[in-house]
Amino acid sequence: MKLQGKVAVVTGGSRGIGRATALEFAEEGSDVAVIYNKAEKEANKVVASIKQKGQEAVAIKCDVSKEEEVKKMVKSVIGKFGKVDILVNNAGIVFDVPFKDRTVEQWEKTLGVNLIGAFLCAKYLSPYMVKQKYGKIINVSSSNAFAGYGMDSVDYDASKAGMVILTKDLSRGLGPYVNVNCVAPGWVETDMNKYLSKDYMENEAKRADVQRIGRPEEIAKVILFLASDDSSFVTAETIVVDGGYK
């Protein structure tokens, strides 16, 4: 197993890509801290599934945009497992609001969860990785970080672009012992997209070379690669996983 004996922290771990990643890690021998903010029931289900696979797991409530909550979360993780080897910064939000109606408060919340949250988790978990001279940090960005999607997603796109630069800077600062990489998914079947119309999603799927929307498990496989020693010479990189979307 590729993650035997490892301890992973997965933010936004109750659903979607985070859930798929947590379960994938457990299949490969890792214990997992499933970090959630509101979806307690779903997080506990993920924990139960991980335990059924023979690994330890715990669900921890944390708004990653709030520094004191992140500090408390880190204390709980170390108290439970005694160490941390892998951090997946997956927590993210989006507001489906027209540009003309977008508020400063929505901008601040989006940047707070998507970008500052990744910074805070890295800030308070990476010292344990550096101390043990081993660690993997994987940031979950978006293909929107490179091309944008339009004015109506400007704050989301900016936050995801920020994660690409955060990845490079963290890699430079935390090397040589901690590998920091990024995954930039395209359209994926997650709760974030469930309110979009069927026709809209079908049209978007046609813009991908593979002619379909991605599955959370397909993104989790790439995250697993970056979390494992298969990627020991990969750092500061962003892998776009979008099915050839154009």
Is residue 173 classed as helix, strand or coil in its secondary structure?
Answer: helix
Longest alpha-carbon distance in the chain = 51
Catalytic residue among 36, 156, 200, 245: 156
Annotation marks residue 124 as catalytic = no
DSSP state letter for 4: T
Q: Contact, 128 vs 83, CB < 8 A?
A: yes
What Cα–Cα distance (Å) separates residue 97 from each residue in 106, 130, 154, 157, 177?
9, 41, 10, 14, 41
The H or E element spanning position 241 is: strand 238-241
Q: Is the dihedral of CA 113, 10, 175, 181 positive or negative?
A: negative
Buried b (16+ CB within 10 A) or exposed e, 4-37: eebbbbbbbbbbbbbbbbbbbbbbbebbbbbbbb
The H or E element spanning position 182 is: strand 178-185
Report how far residue 153's alpha carbon sits from residue 237's, in angstroms, rounded to the nearest whole number. Answer: 24
Q: Is 203 exposed, middle or buried (0-12, 13-18, 19+ CB in 10 A)?
A: exposed
Which candidate, 99, 92, 84, places its Cα nearest to that of 163? 92
Report how far residue 41's alpha carbon sits from residue 38's, in angstroms, rounded to the nearest whole number. Answer: 9
Point out the residues that are catalytic.
156
